[in-house]
Amino acid sequence: MTVSLILACLWIVVAAGLGMLPRRYHWPAAYGLIALGIPLLGYVTYQNGPMLGMVAMAAGVSVLRWPTLYLLRWLARPLRRGRREE
């Protein structure tokens, strides 16, 4: 197992531990996980190829499902506004 995959597994374990903290710590923890996860995802993809990079991204999205949902809603907002005006 490569160093990047070990770090990705450690990221998942830390994310699971942070999920057990009280609710007030969830969003600050999510920001930290995102800040660490994006370069880690690039490192996993660089060392192991795009297929394992996609698997790592799916694992990260499943852990950070609420920030991902809010990002998708934020990105879709201009599209919904444009449709209402017509």
pLDDT bucket at 83, cuts 50 / 70 / 90: low
Whether the per-residue pLDDT at 24 is higher than 80: the answer is yes
Whether the per-residue pLDDT at 21 is higher than 80: the answer is yes
Answer for the pair 21, 29: CB distance below 8 angstroms, yes or no.
Answer: yes
Whether the per-residue pLDDT at 85 is higher than 90: the answer is no
Q: Give the mean model confidence (pLDDT) for residues 32-53.
A: 96
CA–CA gap between residue 67 and residue 85 (Å, rounded): 28
pLDDT bucket at 86, cuts 50 / 70 / 90: low
